[in-house]
Structure 1
Amino acid sequence: MRNSKKAVRDRVVEVYAPCVFTRSDLLARGLSGRSITRAVEAGALLRLRRDRYAYPDIAAEVAEAVRIGGRLSCLSLLVAIGIFVHRASGLHVQLAPDASRVRPPGSARTRLHWSAPSSVPAPLHAAAFEDVVRHAIRCQTPRGALATLDSLLHHRLLTRRQLATIFDGLPQRYARLLSLVDATAESGPETFMRLILKAIGAEYETQVRIEGVGRVDFVIEGWLIIECDSREFHEGWLAQVEDRRRDLAAAARGYVTIRPLATDVMERPDIVRGAVIDVMAALGMRGGRGRRS
């Protein structure tokens, strides 16, 4: 697994740690009614809405979700914990159907998800994780949703059985996505690339380890390597040097390597699909090409 600045599981713990409190919570912590009032007046404690308090270091998007009257959910929460989301814009907030005193969002880009919360206990500021995932599936394109689901399984935040339970609560039209989930995808672009390869009917393997080269994203038809380069993991000259050395080592073993840009894979899949087809047509018929991985 590629390293990240902070492990996803650590981020989950941080995001779901209690950071919004009721007046009863604060009294149980030893504060008095008068001290709560003074703390709010001094700015040491924020009153987000009726009976909802937080300390000043609370994340702005969490504070806004609670101020509106709901919980952080969907793409906003997934981005916060480091799960891949193709396009995330605006704040996503879960609101119960019977929510009262709902305040207008501060931005027109805020997305309100009116849905009954699951029976799983959740903190005051964040939706239950299964609700978050359901919202994210319905809020994205099928390809984007699949990339998110791949990321969730890859980081072991969900099992396939848990994911199947989540799909039970979705309309039937989403069922096909479940059969396409692949936990071997280490990034969103790899999911999008896999779908391109499926579309052209190519035989491929994922996360293949080649002696003298290392692990590569895809090997197609036993000879064509595809690496999904993104800025996150391929920025800087040293990373490029390592990639070029790997490509030379692969070429010495009979492989051809192409490196489509992650942005092209996700935003211009027709162009990438055409390029892969052209490479396979031009080089695939040459005898003795590559080795079966």
Structure 2
Amino acid sequence: MDLRNDIRELGGLAPAFALLRRGWSYSALSYAARHGWVRRIRQGWYALPGVDELLAAAWRVGGLLGCVSAARTFGMWTPPDDRLHVTAPPRHARMRTAGDMRVRLSEEPDPRIRIHWRPCAPFDRFRATPVECIVDLAKCFRSEWVLGSLDSALALGLIRRRELLILLRRLPRHARWIVEAADAASGSFPESVLRGLLIRARISVRIQEWIDDMRVDFLIGDRLVIEVDGREFHGDHLGFEHDRARDAKLSALGYRVLRFSYAQVVYRPDEVLTAIRAAIARNDHS
């Protein structure tokens, strides 16, 4: 018998009772955990020794990795948030801290842990499904941020178009507009956020438009180009020079260019919308 192979066949995480049915004893499980052959994640649960610590932490707390934490493991664009999000059934007892299965969360509350109390469909032993992630994201973050996560989920094939109707029924009413707005062609998280801001402001815009040999992030009207830095930290010299060369070429072709940083779009949206509205009021778009 191979204990690690049995755990692997059970999805990488196995309850003690399932391993007992396969012929293992409690003493054998304890011996294997003490010697590092397997990991005891919490009382009565065993995982493979190389399990990702983030996944282990969620299960140690007492639920599935969910919301922004799980979305990030799927490669989805996510809002800026460093908390551990765990989805657990209502009235679930024996919640533990992320770092120690012996300490009850009720005894040592941790603001770095966000519990979503609801039934949740699992993607695997450790994580909620991408659809479940979007549902919880919509309860935690601004809708424009959630649109970024949904855009990337569509682009990665994690959520299919046919699932959008299901998602529409499950989203909070204030966030349902993102289903119709979702677009897999979006180029980055802040681009999705800005597109959402423009949609809600009723400003018509086209995305990923070609001008000469350049593809621009947004085009408003005939002449107003909006460019967004795709990363939170966008300061490398080559990237800076490339962006300015593009801006100069677009200006020479008769276009007005507004360029915004990640921080402006994500954290200071009113500042961005004010600048865009002012450009439209000056007829920079026509």
| Interval of TM-score (by shorter of Structure 1 and Structure 2) | 0.7 to 0.9
Equivalent residue letter for 1:261: S
Cα deviation, residue 45, structure 1:
2.0
Q: Partners of 1:186 and 1:35 in 2: how far apart?
A: 52
Counterparts in 2 of 1:260-279, with a 5 A limit? 260-279=260-279
Residue 43 in structure 1 maps to residue 36 in structure 2? yes
Residue 67 in structure 1 maps to residue 70 in structure 2? no
Counterparts in 2 of 1:41-120, with a 5 A limit? 41-97=34-90, 99-103=92-96, 104-105=104-105, 107-118=110-121
Identity, % of aligned positions: 31
Cα deviation, residue 34, structure 1:
4.9
Residue 231 in structure 1 maps to residue 231 in structure 2? yes
Q: Is the 8 A contact 2:144 2:194 kept in 1?
A: no
Q: Is the 8 A contact 1:225 1:255 kept in 2?
A: yes
Q: Is the 8 A contact 1:22 1:53 kept in 2?
A: yes
Q: Partners of 2:260 and 2:226 in 1: how far apart?
A: 8
Partner SS state of residue 112, structure 2: coil
Equivalent residue letter for 1:178: V
Deviations 1:73-103 (A, max 9, x none): 1111112222122232311111122534333
Equivalent residue letter for 1:226: I
Q: Partners of 1:269 and 1:171 in 2: how far apart?
A: 22
Match of 1:242 in 2: 242
Match of 2:101 in 1: none
TM-score by length of 2: 0.81
CA 1:202–1:25 in 2, change beyond 3 Å: closer, same or farther?
same
Equivalent residue letter for 1:236: D
Match of 2:100 in 1: none
Aligned residues: 267
Partner SS state of residue 82, structure 1: coil
Cα deviation, residue 171, structure 1:
4.5
Q: Partners of 1:28 and 1:175 in 2: how far apart?
A: 46
CA 1:243–1:25 in 2, change beyond 3 Å: closer, same or farther?
farther
Equivalent residue letter for 2:190: P
Q: Partners of 2:174 and 2:206 in 1: how far apart?
A: 28
Match of 1:255 in 2: 255
Q: Partners of 1:186 and 1:50 in 2: how far apart?
A: 44
Match of 1:151 in 2: 152
Q: Partners of 1:215 and 1:115 in 2: how far apart?
A: 43
Match of 2:6 in 1: none
Residue 281 in structure 1 maps to residue 284 in structure 2? no
Equivalent residue letter for 2:238: L
Structure 2 residues without counterparts, runs of 5 or longer: 1-9, 97-103
CA 1:269–1:160 in 2, change beyond 3 Å: closer, same or farther?
same
- Between 28-37 and 77-86, report the one with greater CA deviation: 28-37
Q: Partners of 2:171 and 2:225 in 1: how far apart?
A: 37
TM-score by length of 1: 0.79
Cα deviation, residue 51, structure 1:
2.6
Match of 1:176 in 2: 177
CA 1:117–1:270 in 2, change beyond 3 Å: closer, same or farther?
closer
CA 1:283–1:128 in 2, change beyond 3 Å: closer, same or farther?
closer
Partner SS state of residue 84, structure 1: coil
Partner SS state of residue 218, structure 1: strand
Partner SS state of residue 209, structure 2: strand
Equivalent residue letter for 1:51: G
Cα deviation, residue 29, structure 1:
8.6
Cα deviation, residue 62, structure 1:
1.5
Cα deviation, residue 54, structure 1:
1.9
Cα deviation, residue 260, structure 1:
1.1
CA 1:242–1:219 in 2, change beyond 3 Å: closer, same or farther?
same
Partner SS state of residue 176, structure 2: helix
Q: Partners of 1:109 and 1:158 in 2: how far apart?
A: 28
